[in-house]
Amino acid sequence: MKIIPEVQFDSILEKIKNKNYEFQELKELREVEELAVREFIELIENLSASYEEISSSNDELENLYKELELTYNKLEGSYIAFSKKLSKIAEKYDDITGKHIERVADYSKLIAEKLGKDSFFTNNIFYYSPLHDLGKLMIDKKILNKEGRLTIDEYEEMKKHTLYAAEILDEDDEFSFAKNIALYHHEKFDGSGYPYGLSGENIPLEARIVALADVYDSLRSKRTYKPALSHEEAYKIIVEGDIKTQPTHFDPKILKIFKENHLEFKSIYEIYEKN
């Protein structure tokens, strides 16, 4: 079983507290998390003590293991709940229409499953991919919601949302998976992306997956600067390319999965549109 490190929710809250949102629910989640950590540590100490007592029965040890597992699950649930709250705040701040972050989570999990990844990976990408644009909390809303083309300086500032997200999530090892997604999801397989111009498998797999999921949903979604595209139009752009997007931007294995399962992407989008 993985031992969860000491949480750093306070530092995350501190970094985004200047935004005009009510963070009471997040603070309450932090308190639940702290309690779970204390319970977790206490159970580990009890378990260690039980090993030292030769007279301890197997039943007692088994019960301690069960308690430990329950507390671990509670702790993991706190991270997931905190992640959901953060992603909702980021979505609201960016004035994203529809259910972008939920759809990206579904696309990403679909790709991970088709790649044959285990449940740990697929669950992580489902729960943490919604944080991919968390760094936009640090971008001026005038830039985020500008109608028309951004200036060079505005675009450079917009690109920094990947770095801002990494800074927000950097305090807690449990968010390392989410950090990889947020920091690297604009890197491109051919090395033409940002912030570091990484290429190929130097880009974490979770970021390569979210990169395609995010592009597809962005193409399908209406923004202040562009209309929504149909599934067929989005598919053609990803597979054949246009001025902005090229198939070389994506991991070939992930692109192949998209081609073979693109109708499932379409279905996911349409399900959210109906709700």
- Give the least confident one: 147-151, 153-157, 167-171, 261-265: 167-171
Can you give the pLDDT at residue 3? 40
Res. 42 pLDDT band, cuts 50 70 90: low
Q: Would you say domain 98-275 falls under CATH 1.10.3210.10? A: yes
pLDDT value, residue 205: 99
Res 62 pLDDT > 90? no
Task: Please report, rounded to a whole number, the percentage of residues in the chain having pLDDT higher than 70.
Answer: 64
pLDDT per position as a tens digit, 207-236: 999 999 999 999 999 887 788 999 999 999
Nearest-angstrom CA–CA distance, 209 and 128? 12
Note the pLDDT tens digit of each residue in 116-137: 999 999 999 998 998 898 888 8
pLDDT bin (cut points 50, 70, 90) of residue 195 is very high
Compute the mean pLDDT over every residue in the chain, rounded to the nearest whole number. 80
CB atoms within 10 A of CB 249: 22
* Residue type at 254 in one-letter notation: I
Structure confidence at residue 4 (pLDDT): 40
Residue with tokens 């992603």: 87
Query: In 149-228, which residue ranges form alpha helices assigned H by DSSP?
Result: 152-159, 161-169, 176-184, 205-220
**4 backbone dihedrals φ, ψ, rounded to 5°:** -80, 130
Give pLDDT tens digits for 3-15: 444 445 556 556 6
Q: Where are the domains of the chain?
A: 1-93, 98-275
- Report the pLDDT averaged over residues 10-27: 54
Which residues are CB-contacts of 156 (< 8 A; sequence separation ≥ 6)? none
Would you state the pLDDT for residue 132? 92
| Active site members | 136
- Interval 249-262 mean pLDDT: 98
Q: What share of the chain is helix, strand, coil (3-state, %, to 5)?
A: 70, 0, 30
Higher-confidence residue of 72 and 106: namely 106
Cβ(40)–Cβ(68) below 8 Å: yes
